[in-house]
């Protein structure tokens, strides 16, 4: 096993020992699908079967953005523990005394924060897709495939980018805060970017052209995520080196 | 051959010179003690040797590897016990998990991990606590766990910063025994930071005294102690009122210095072979009840105080 993977696994296991993180991960995995079923399948019975697909267009952006938001939350929690937690617990110095290179350590910390979120993103999307398909058929409607193409685009591009961007932002923040909860609070604001694809398409409800607005808001979200990712990692790579880390010990 | 060779090492933190043009050699297999007051530059030196800090100028070679050119290699063959090491264990992990994690990071082969952990934990009398969370261990046990962590991969050079700090006398003795036995068994080199003079005197065969980042004195412990014998002191044990003895002693021109401690006066006597008899006679004539006049064994503390005091005055 690579040393990065050893770091990642240990960081993840250590994060899971905290109730907030453990239950946070469970909630992040199930809350998205549950909310989706409530929103989607709750409304479906009052919609005629012929207009079921319309419902996908209407509710889709909300559910998609929600799945994205819930998937990013674990990264903020795990990365905060993996980066700021080491500092808070005084465990950074012995770790830096091991033969780990800066790159191995960085990759380990990144994997610890990002991989669980990517798994949660994939699994909660899969549960939602299967649940809505089964639910729609069970309610006597034609099978509904969710997410649609626009939703899948957002979940497959902006969300993973944002997950990795959160790790970069956490690296930047870790040099400035001393407590895990401060780091956690500081990065949760980034998740609000996913309010854009949730709310912006609603403008199209009155003016028409909601579909175009969905794609437009998805592109805006992707652009912001990409900007945070690029700028964040450019700064994080500069900051994540032995000298900077030692100064935090 | 030397395991640690420090060449004109300097480390500045802004205006502060933490390590000042240090030159030092530590022979392979020796137990070396770096002595100095708080803020003298001991921990900074250790951090540079463990490649945690880059020096401002100069270099050091650890077990044949240069700190600038082979930092990863140095980290592979050194074991480090940081300052206040009892605070540096993962409190949410068990004692065993802590060691297993670091064994993997140090590249200990999978099959050797468990025996290595068991051997160390048993030696440190922690094996029955292996499944306890490190956070639930006492301060002393956490320190011992941190020491196990530094020894896991059988490093060539051990950099220990105050290894017995926070340990009770029994545990401290055990750690000293461990260091001595490891040095004998594996010929490991120990670089120990300490301000515990008695401990250094018991363990180290070579010492250096550092203050304000400068090495004030370095050499073989016994040789340095023998130098002190030229400045032999004497202990005068008095029964009764010590002030009457002091008033006599202060007027004797061959008494170069004196210092009182409850019922004892420690004296530095010029030409003691001739003057000790004079001293006793004068005291007895003055009615002082002398119980004993004995040689005061030269200790590292005397040397340390003399060197550090002298260094500060310069």
Q: In B, which residues are within 8 Å of A12 by CB distance?
A: none
Mark yes or no for CB contact B47/A246 under 8 Å.
yes
Confidence of residue B300 (pLDDT cuts 50, 70, 90): low
Mark yes or no for CB contact B104/A3 under 8 Å.
yes
How do beta strands B233-239 and B289-296 pair?
antiparallel
Tokens of A16: 């899971």
Residue among A173, A119, A121, A116 at smallest CA distance from A147: A121
Cβ atoms within 10 Å, residue A221: 25
Give the residues across from B265 on adjacent strands.
Answer: B236, B260
Residues 6+ apart with CB under 8 A from A1: A9, B104
Residue among A160, A187, A159 at smallest CA distance from A171: A187
Residues in chain B whose beta carbon is closer than 8 A to a beta carbon of chain A?
47, 50-54, 72-73, 75-76, 78, 80, 82, 84-85, 87-93, 101-102, 104-107, 146, 149
Nearest to B105 among A3, A14, A93 (CB): A3
Q: What mean pLDDT is predicted for residues B190-209?
A: 87
- Count of A–B CB contacts within 8 Å? 62
Q: What mean pLDDT is predicted for residues B261-285?
A: 87
Mark yes or no for CB contact A94/B106 under 8 Å.
no
Is the preceding omega at residue A147 within 30 degrees of 0, hence cis?
Answer: yes
What is the helix (H) or strand (E) element at residue B98, kind and residue range? helix B95-105
Q: What are A133-192's pLDDT values in tens digits?
A: 998 898 888 888 888 899 999 999 999 999 999 999 998 888 788 888 888 888 878 888
Residue among B208, B196, B202 at smallest CA distance from B179: B202
Asked whether A108 and A8 are in contact (CB, 8 A), the reply is yes
How do beta strands B233-239 and B157-161 pair?
unpaired
Instruction: Write down the mean pLDDT value for chain B.
Output: 87
Mark yes or no for CB contact B90/A91 under 8 Å.
yes
Chain B residue nearest residue A245, CA to CA: B52
How far B75 CA lies from chain A's nearest CA (Å)?
5
Residues 6+ apart with CB under 8 A from B132: B94, B95
Q: State pTM to two decimals.
A: 0.82
Q: Express as a percent the part of chain A with pLDDT over 70.
A: 99
Mark yes or no for CB contact B52/A246 under 8 Å.
yes
Confidence at residue A191, expressed as pLDDT on a 0 to 100 scale: 86
Q: In B, which residues are within 8 Å of A14 by CB distance?
A: 90, 92-93
Confidence at residue B314, expressed as pLDDT on a 0 to 100 scale: 44
How do beta strands B255-261 and B78-81 pair?
unpaired
Confidence at residue A51, expressed as pLDDT on a 0 to 100 scale: 81
Instruction: Write down the mean pLDDT value for chain A.
Output: 89
Confidence at residue B39, expressed as pLDDT on a 0 to 100 scale: 85
Q: In A, which residues are within 8 Å of B104 by CB distance?
A: 1, 3, 6
Angle (CA) B219-B223-B229 rounded to 5° is 130
Q: In B, which residues are within 8 Å of A90 by CB distance?
A: 84, 87-88
Sorted by where each begins, the domain ranges of chain A are 2-248
Confidence at residue B123, expressed as pLDDT on a 0 to 100 scale: 85
Q: What are B52-108's pLDDT values in tens digits?
A: 999 999 999 999 999 999 999 999 999 999 988 888 999 999 999 999 999 999 999
Mark yes or no for CB contact A99/B107 under 8 Å.
yes
Measure the CA dihedral B66/B3/B32/B140, to 10°: 70
Asked whether B127 and B83 are in contact (CB, 8 A), the reply is no
Give the residues across from B16 on adjacent strands.
Answer: B13
**Looking at this predicted complex, what is its ipTM?**
0.86
Rounded Cα–Cα distance for residues A172 and B308 (Å): 43
Nearest to B105 among A6, A91, A243 (CB): A6
Mark yes or no for CB contact A98/B106 under 8 Å.
yes
Mark yes or no for CB contact B80/A242 under 8 Å.
no
Confidence at residue A97, expressed as pLDDT on a 0 to 100 scale: 93
Q: In B, which residues are within 8 Å of A243 by CB distance?
A: 53-54
How far A105 CA lies from chain B's nearest CA (Å)?
11
Chain A residue nearest residue B76, CA to CA: A99
Residues 6+ apart with CB under 8 A from B145: B89, B95, B98, B99, B124, B126, B134, B137
Rounded Cα–Cα distance for residues A102 and A80 (Å): 18
Between B296 and A228, the higher pLDDT residue: A228
Residues in chain A whose beta carbon is closer than 8 A to a beta carbon of chain B?
1, 3, 6-7, 10, 14, 17-18, 89-91, 93-101, 242-243, 246, 249
Residues 6+ apart with CB under 8 A from A159: A67, A68, A71, A72, A121, A194, A225
Pick from A101-110, B43-52, B276-285, B290-299: least confident: B290-299
- pLDDT of residue B230 exceeding 60, the answer is no
Helix axis angle, A52-79 to A158-174, nearest 10° = 20
Confidence at residue B186, expressed as pLDDT on a 0 to 100 scale: 79
Residues 6+ apart with CB under 8 A from B290: B236, B237, B238, B239, B245, B280, B283, B284
Q: What are A95-129's pLDDT values in tens digits?
A: 999 999 989 999 999 999 999 999 999 999 999 99
Mark yes or no for CB contact A90/B87 under 8 Å.
yes
- pLDDT of residue B268 exceeding 60, the answer is yes
How far B53 CA lies from chain A's nearest CA (Å)?
7
- pLDDT of residue A211 exceeding 70, the answer is yes
Confidence at residue B310, expressed as pLDDT on a 0 to 100 scale: 62
Asked whether B179 and B31 are in contact (CB, 8 A), the reply is yes
- pLDDT of residue B9 exceeding 90, the answer is yes
The DSSP secondary-structure symbol of A89 reads T
Q: What is the torsional sign of CA A209, A211, A213, A216?
A: negative
Measure the CA dihedral B50/B53/B58/B60, to 10°: 0
Chain B residue nearest residue A5, CA to CA: B105
Mark yes or no for CB contact A97/B146 under 8 Å.
no
Confidence of residue B7 (pLDDT cuts 50, 70, 90): very high
Q: Across the beta sheet with B57-62, what order do the strands follow?
A: B16-27, B2-13, B57-62, B65-66
């Amino acid at each position: 096993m690579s040393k990065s993977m050893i770091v990642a696994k240990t960081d993840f296991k250590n994060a899971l020992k905290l109730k907030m993180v453990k239950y946070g991960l469970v909630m992040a995995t199930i809350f998205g699908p549950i909310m989706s079923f409530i929103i989607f399948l709750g409304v479906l019975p009052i919609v005629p079967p012929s207009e079921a697909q319309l419902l996908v267009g209407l509710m889709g952006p909300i559910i998609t953005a929600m799945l994205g938001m819930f998937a990013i939350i674990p990264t903020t929690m795990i990365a905060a523990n993996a980066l700021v937690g080491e500092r808070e617990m005084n465990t950074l110095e012995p770790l830096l005394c091991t033969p780990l290179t800066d790159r191995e350590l960085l990759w380990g910390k990144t994997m610890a924060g990002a991989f669980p979120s990517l798994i949660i993103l994939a699994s909660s999307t899969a549960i939602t897709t299967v649940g809505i398909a089964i639910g729609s058929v069970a309610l006597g409607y034609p099978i509904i495939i969710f997410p649609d193409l626009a939703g899948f685009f957002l979940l497959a591009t902006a969300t993973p980018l944002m997950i990795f961007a959160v790790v970069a932002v956490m690296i930047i923040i870790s040099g400035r805060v001393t407590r895990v909860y401060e780091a956690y609070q500081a990065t949760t604001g980034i998740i609000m970017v996913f309010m854009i694809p949730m709310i912006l398409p609603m403008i199209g409800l009155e003016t028409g052209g909601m579909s175009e607005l969905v794609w437009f808001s998805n592109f805006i979200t992707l652009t912001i995520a990409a900007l945070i990712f690029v700028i964040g990692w450019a700064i994080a790579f500069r900051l994540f080196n032995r000298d900077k880390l030692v100064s935090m010990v | 051959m030397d395991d640690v060779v420090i060449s004109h090492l300097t480390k500045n933190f802004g205006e502060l010179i933490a390590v000042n043009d240090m030159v030092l050699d530590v022979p392979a297999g020796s137990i070396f003690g770096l002595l100095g007051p708080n803020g003298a530059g001991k921990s900074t030196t250790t951090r540079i040797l463990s490649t945690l800090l880059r020096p401002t100028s100069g270099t050091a070679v650890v077990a044949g590897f240069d700190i600038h050119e082979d930092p990863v290699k140095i980290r592979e063959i050194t074991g480090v016990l940081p300052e206040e090491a009892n605070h540096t264990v993962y409190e949410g992990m068990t004692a065993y998990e802590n060691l297993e994690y670091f064994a993997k990071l140090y590249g200990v082969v999978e099959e050797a991990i468990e025996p290595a952990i068991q051997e160390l934990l048993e030696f440190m009398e922690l094996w029955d606590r292996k499944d306890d969370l490190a956070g639930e261990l006492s301060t002393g046990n956490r320190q011992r766990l941190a020491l196990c962590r530094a020894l896991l991969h059988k490093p060539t050079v051990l950099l220990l910063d105050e290894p017995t700090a926070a340990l009770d006398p029994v545990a401290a003795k055990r750690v000293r025994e461990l260091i001595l036995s490891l040095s004998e068994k594996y010929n490991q080199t120990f670089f120990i930071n300490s301000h515990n003079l008695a401990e250094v005197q018991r363990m180290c065969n070579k010492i250096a005294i550092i203050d304000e980042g400068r090495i004030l004195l370095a050499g073989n412990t016994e040789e340095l102690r023998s130098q002190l014998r030229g400045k032999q002191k004497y202990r005068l044990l008095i029964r009764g009122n010590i002030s009457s003895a002091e008033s006599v002693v202060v007027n004797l021109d061959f008494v170069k210095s004196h210092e009182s401690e409850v019922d004892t006066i420690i004296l530095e006597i010029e030409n003691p072979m001739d003057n000790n008899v004079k001293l006793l006679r004068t005291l007895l004539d003055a009615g002082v009840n002398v119980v004993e006049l004995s040689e005061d064994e030269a200790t590292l503390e005397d040397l340390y105080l003399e060197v550090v005091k002298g260094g500060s005055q310069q």
